[in-house]
């Protein structure tokens, strides 16, 4: 009898070849899926905000030890001290210490002479600082103050600021609510050019030290002040020479910590309060585009004059902005992780994508979201701005030379070389179309056999690559800065500390450049931070610049306790 299929005994049969293959494939698939799940869970745990803060830990507050015998910052917020602070601050604003882009050498350009006023200002306003610190004039108006500490094993603390301010165009003065160099106090705010940038921090540093020295403070750690006078025009006359002086005196990597102007405290980063010291700084380069042609009479013009050709070059440049990119070296990467971990109101989808930025698909979504907002776009993008163009001398003469200047702020992951390549890519087809040769950063190019009808020359000026990034992992200087920020801005007697929410501290990036560019060799611990609440500071570099007096007092309190904490830490 022939057995039916259900009657066949298969208990001792060996799997056929195809069945073996299926079993192997199934086993492999199950193994892979299990591995992926385990790995995924591991990666998620590494960025889970409930994992003990591995991604963005909350730094403990650091209050100075009372054993140093110094008063707490409470008295700084008393009415009696407010009046003294107000007087010191407004006097500094009343000095019209403007630096202009076309300043000549110190000693040759009389516009520098106004900076002499700061010698008498500091001497009369802060007599204890002036008598206890050694003062060295560097390139005439650069000021280096040094107070030697008693413990030579401790590296010095370097605090920096600058005395110069940006110009106030004559045709805008009438639009100011109060004259820009009056230092007017309206009962809440101090108004004037430099009220925030950077005479708030400048004066607060001196105030805090005057208060400490008045109580008999003798530091263990040497304190150095580096006061530049041309930060607004790149610091080549001031901070550059100060940096060289300090390098010669103390040596490379000799400074414990450098604190300069930079980010501030934002009360609303996705619904939470964040202090954002910049641990990095974008690069910088200006590209000059010069177009030279033969000119001629305007009654017989070509289809495009040199100005018209330059317009096409500008159009080609602006039509292709730089693509945003976000690499882990960029401090903004870490800032986003901290915001995802601690912010209250971040969009859930954005939070999820930030937490999984190790995946390229998630990172692309984060980049897209950040780049859509003009206020955050340039933390992850190189910026290009056509700021200056000039050419032509007479209405009936064709312009023989046109010059355009394009400013670039370079993001981490890019370089000056890449900027040059992009500009050349924009210029080349225009030059070829109009029969022009190119001198591109020292390399000559011609198109075709005919004699060129003109030349485009590309040059760069003041090139600066992205700054070295200050490490924050297991860095005691980061804990010192973060802990002091939290202590002062959460616990002080400031009028703003009523119902103060926790302040999270996260690294960020400066989109502009500071005097720190000239101090890179002195320390790896460079922080750019304005100890002020951004909600009480308005219109930096603009009409009606102003800062709340209580915000300034918090800045004084910060430096007062920061110097104490830096002195007490090993």
**187: domain CATH number?**
3.40.630.10
Assess if residue 89 is contained within a domain: yes
Assess if residue 15 is contained within a domain: no
Assess if residue 10 is contained within a domain: no
Query: From CA 443, how far away is CA 446, in angstroms rounded?
Result: 10
> How large is the average pLDDT for residues 232-257?
98
Residue 14 has pLDDT above 90, yes or no: no
Our answer to whether residue 231 is catalytic in this structure is yes
- Are 408 and 326 found together in one domain? yes
Sequence ranges of the binding site: 162, 197, 232, 260, 541
**What pLDDT score was predicted for residue 462?**
81
Assess if residue 27 is contained within a domain: no
Assess if residue 21 is contained within a domain: no
- Are 460 and 481 found together in one domain? no
**What pLDDT score was predicted for residue 144?**
99
- Are 260 and 320 found together in one domain? no
- Are 448 and 352 found together in one domain? yes
**DSSP element (H, E) containing 120:** helix 117-125
- Are 449 and 302 found together in one domain? yes
Confidence of residue 509 (pLDDT cuts 50, 70, 90): very high
Residue 39 has pLDDT above 90, yes or no: no
**What pLDDT score was predicted for residue 243?**
99
Least confident span in 472-476, 477-481, 498-502 = 498-502
| 516 DSSP 8-state letter | G
From 407, 429, 464, give the residue that closes a domain. Answer: 464
Which residue is catalytic, options 164, 281, 545, 554? 164
**What pLDDT score was predicted for residue 25?**
63
| 478 DSSP 8-state letter | H
Confidence of residue 117 (pLDDT cuts 50, 70, 90): very high
> How large is the average pLDDT for residues 508-527?
98
Instruction: Please write the tens of the pLDDT for every residue from 124-166.
Output: 999 999 999 999 999 999 999 999 999 999 999 999 999 999 9
pTM: 0.88
Our answer to whether residue 164 is catalytic in this structure is yes
Count of C-beta atoms within a 10 Å radius of residue 245: 16
- Are 228 and 146 found together in one domain? yes
Sequence ranges of the binding site for Zn(2+): 162, 197, 232, 260, 541
**What pLDDT score was predicted for residue 11?**
40
**What pLDDT score was predicted for residue 31?**
59
- Closest residue by Cα to residue 275 from 528, 9, 538, 44: 528
Size of the chain in residues: 570
Number of structural domains, the chain? 2
Structural domain boundaries enclosing 558: 66-281+468-568
**What pLDDT score was predicted for residue 555?**
99
Q: Which of the two residues, 40 and 61, has the higher pLDDT score?
A: 61
Residue 53 has pLDDT above 90, yes or no: no
- Are 173 and 234 found together in one domain? yes
Residue 15 has pLDDT above 60, yes or no: no
Query: Do 536 and 182 meet the contact criterion of CB atoms below 8 Å apart?
Result: no
> CB within 8 A of 286, min separation 6: which ones?
405, 406, 407, 408, 460, 461, 462
**What pLDDT score was predicted for residue 26?**
61
Query: From CA 214, how far away is CA 252, in angstroms rounded?
Result: 33
Which residue is catalytic, options 196, 210, 231, 545? 231
Residue 46 has pLDDT above 90, yes or no: no
- Are 118 and 208 found together in one domain? yes
Assess if residue 356 is contained within a domain: yes
From 441, 464, 487, give the residue that closes a domain. Answer: 464
Question: Coil, helix or strand for 13?
Answer: coil
Assess if residue 8 is contained within a domain: no
Residue 6 has pLDDT above 60, yes or no: no
**What pLDDT score was predicted for residue 35?**
52
Instruction: Please write the tens of the pLDDT for every residue from 277-325.
Output: 999 999 999 999 999 999 999 999 999 999 999 999 999 999 999 999 9
Q: What is the DSSP pairing of strand 223-228 with strand 157-162?
A: parallel
- Are 449 and 319 found together in one domain? yes
Instruction: Please write the tens of the pLDDT for every residue from 175-226.
Output: 999 999 999 999 999 999 999 999 999 999 999 999 999 999 999 999 999 9
- Are 309 and 454 found together in one domain? yes
Assess if residue 4 is contained within a domain: no
Confidence of residue 7 (pLDDT cuts 50, 70, 90): very low
- Closest residue by Cα to residue 384 from 348, 414, 342: 414
Instruction: Please write the tens of the pLDDT for every residue from 396-451.
Output: 999 999 999 999 999 999 999 999 999 999 999 999 999 999 999 999 988 876 77
From 413, 448, 464, give the residue that closes a domain. Answer: 464
- Closest residue by Cα to residue 337 from 361, 349, 360, 353: 353
- Are 295 and 241 found together in one domain? no
> CB within 8 A of 196, min separation 6: which ones?
530, 532, 537, 538, 540, 545, 546, 547
- Are 367 and 476 found together in one domain? no
Give the domain CATH number at 334.
3.30.70.360
Mean pLDDT for the chain overall: 92
Count of C-beta atoms within a 10 Å radius of residue 308: 14
């Amino acid at each position: 009898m022939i057995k039916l299929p259900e009657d066949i005994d298969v208990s001792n049969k060996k799997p056929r070849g195809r069945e073996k293959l299926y079993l192997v494939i199934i086993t492999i698939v199950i193994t892979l899926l299990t591995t992926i799940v385990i790995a995924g869970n591991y990666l998620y745990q590494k960025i889970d905000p409930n994992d003990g803060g591995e991604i963005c830990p909350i730094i403990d507050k650091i209050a100075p030890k009372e054993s140093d015998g110094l008063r707490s910052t409470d008295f700084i917020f008393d009415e009696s001290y407010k009046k003294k602070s107000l007087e010191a601050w407004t006097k500094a604003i009343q000095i019209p210490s403007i630096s202009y882009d076309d300043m000549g050498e110190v000693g040759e350009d009389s516009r520098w002479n106004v900076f002499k006023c700061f010698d008498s200002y500091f001497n009369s306003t802060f007599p204890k600082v002036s008598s206890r610190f050694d003062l060295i004039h560097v390139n005439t108006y650069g000021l280096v103050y040094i107070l030697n500490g008693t413990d030579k094993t401790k590296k010095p603390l370097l605090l920096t600021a600058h005395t110069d301010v940006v110009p106030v165009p004559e045709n805008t003065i009438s639009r100011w609510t109060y004259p820009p160099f009056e230092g007017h106090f309206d009962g809440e705010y101090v108004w004037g050019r430099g009220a925030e940038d950077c005479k708030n921090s400048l004066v607060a540093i001196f105030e805090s030290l005057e208060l400490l020295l008045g109580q008999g403070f003798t530091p263990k750690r040497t304190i150095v002040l580096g006061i530049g006078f041309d930060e607004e025009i790149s610091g080549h006359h001031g901070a550059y020479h100060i940096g060289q002086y300090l390098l010669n005196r103390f040596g490379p990597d000799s400074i414990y910590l450098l604190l300069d102007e930079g980010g501030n405290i934002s009360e609303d980063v996705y619904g939470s309060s964040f202090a954002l010291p910049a641990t990095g700084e974008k690069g910088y380069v200006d590209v000059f585009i010069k177009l030279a042609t033969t000119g001629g009479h305007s009654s017989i013009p070509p289809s495009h004059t040199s100005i018209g050709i330059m317009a096409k070059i500008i159009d080609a440049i602006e039509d292709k902005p730089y693509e945003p990119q976000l690499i882990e070296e960029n401090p903004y990467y870490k800032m986003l992780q901290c915001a995802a971990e601690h912010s209250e109101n971040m969009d859930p989808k954005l939070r999820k994508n930030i937490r999984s930025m190790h995946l390229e698909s998630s990172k692309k979504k984060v980049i897209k979201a950040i780049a859509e907002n003009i206020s955050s776009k340039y933390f992850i993008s190189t910026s290009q701005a056509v700021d200056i163009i000039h050419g032509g001398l007479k209405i009936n003469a064709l312009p023989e030379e046109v010059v355009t200047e394009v400013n670039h702020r370079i993001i981490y992951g890019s370089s000056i070389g890449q900027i040059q390549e992009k500009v050349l890519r924009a210029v080349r087809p225009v030059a070829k179309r109009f029969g022009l040769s190119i001198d591109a950063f020292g390399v000559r190019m011609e198109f075709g056999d005919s004699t060129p009808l003109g030349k485009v020359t590309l040059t760069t000026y003041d090139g600066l690559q992205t700054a070295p990034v200050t490490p924050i992992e297991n860095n005691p200087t980061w804990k010192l800065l973060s802990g002091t920020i939290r202590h002062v801005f959460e616990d002080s007697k400031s009028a703003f500390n009523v119902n103060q929410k926790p302040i999270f501290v996260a690294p960020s990036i400066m989109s502009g450049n500071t005097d720190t560019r000239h101090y890179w060799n002195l320390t790896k611990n460079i922080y750019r931070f304005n100890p002020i609440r951004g909600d009480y500071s308005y219109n930096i570099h603009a009409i009606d610049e102003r800062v709340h007096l209580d915000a300034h007092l918090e800045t004084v309190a910060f430096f007062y306790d920061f110097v104490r904490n830096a002195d007490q830490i090993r």
